[in-house]
Structure 1
Amino acid sequence: MSTDPRSLPHHRPRLLVLVLLGGTAGTSVRHATAEVVPVWHDVPVGTLAVNLVGAFLLGVLLEALVLRGADVGQRRDVRLLLGTGFLGGLTTYSTFALESQRLLDGGPAGVGLAYAVGTVVAGLLLAAAGVASARRWRP
């Protein structure tokens, strides 16, 4: 027995619109951050900032939603709008990878390596801190 594809969540236009709206806003904030936050000693601080803030906020958001119940209805809508959409648009793995490669190729290896490894480690720690924060704030 097969499932009707139209019943799958990713085939529902309303849910796709939530991701689109959130992604548009998140991407706009990321672009504005990159324009406003200066590069410091060749390190793209804007990309670093959005990725680290995004990791923390995604940890908070997803844990808070899990603690409140199943991923259905309004919780799913919030996850798609803010998690997949806004925070997915805010953060950027591809730009991080490209900037890391450029730092490794074009400058002191220590700077590129510190940026690449530091971003990943700090992102993991901040995501964990976000999860812990959501657990602490649990209603």
Structure 2
Amino acid sequence: MDGNRDPNPTLPVDPDTAPRTPGPLHVRPAAIAAVGAGGLIGAPLRYQLGVWFPQAAGGWPVTTFAINIAGAFLLGFLLEALTRLGPDDRWRQSVRLGVGTGILGSFTTYSTLAVDTDLLLRSHQWWAAGTYAAGTVLVGLVATTAGIAAGAQLRSRRTEAER
């Protein structure tokens, strides 16, 4: 019999003998640290790309668009690849939190999408605002789908190589 399975699941669990869980993931210091460490990489990278490729005054926000699309692709790829590698625990969970939520979460910038769209609308650039907002969401969806497909191929190639 499995030592972790409760032999009498219909009876209440004795709290003195029940295995201790570390608590919800969002309050665990290691999880918070992983997200924070990732954020220390993603946000400055996004900022630096904005410095290297500045937006022309009143222009279509190409840099922010490219950042969000790249981030959508990478997040789709990462999450699909991690899912195919096994359950969301141990190192996979740390990678998901550090790279996915931390780096890519702070690298992509949907708050800037909202601000840039608002600025375009305030300057009566309706077409630019609409194409930028809708384009980011639609192209981001396509990029995420492409990332998921690429992540699925990673596992397929690995499985073929093991044969």
* TM-score, normalization by structure 1: 0.92
- 1:47-86 alignment runs, 5 A limit: 47-86=64-103
**What 5-or-longer segments of structure 1 have no aligned partner?**
none
Instruction: Select the structure of larger CA radius of gyration.
Output: 2
SS of the residue aligned with 1:137? helix
What do the CA deviations read for 1:106-137 (whole angstroms, capped 9, x no partner)? Answer: 14211111111111100000000000011112
Note the aligned Cα RMSD (angstroms): 1.8
Same amino acid, percent of matched pairs: 40
* TM-score, normalization by structure 2: 0.79
**What 5-or-longer segments of structure 2 have no aligned partner?**
1-12, 159-163
- Structure 2 residue corresponding to 1:31, chosen from 37, 47, 54: 47
Q: In structure 2, how many angstroms separate the alpha carbons of the residues matched to 1:128 and 1:73? A: 26
Instruction: State the match for 1:45 in structure 2.
Output: 62
Instruction: State the match for 2:152 in structure 1.
Output: 135
Q: Which has the higher helix share?
A: 1
Q: CA deviation at 1:22?
A: 0.2
Q: CA deviation at 1:58?
A: 0.1
1:116 matches 2:147: no
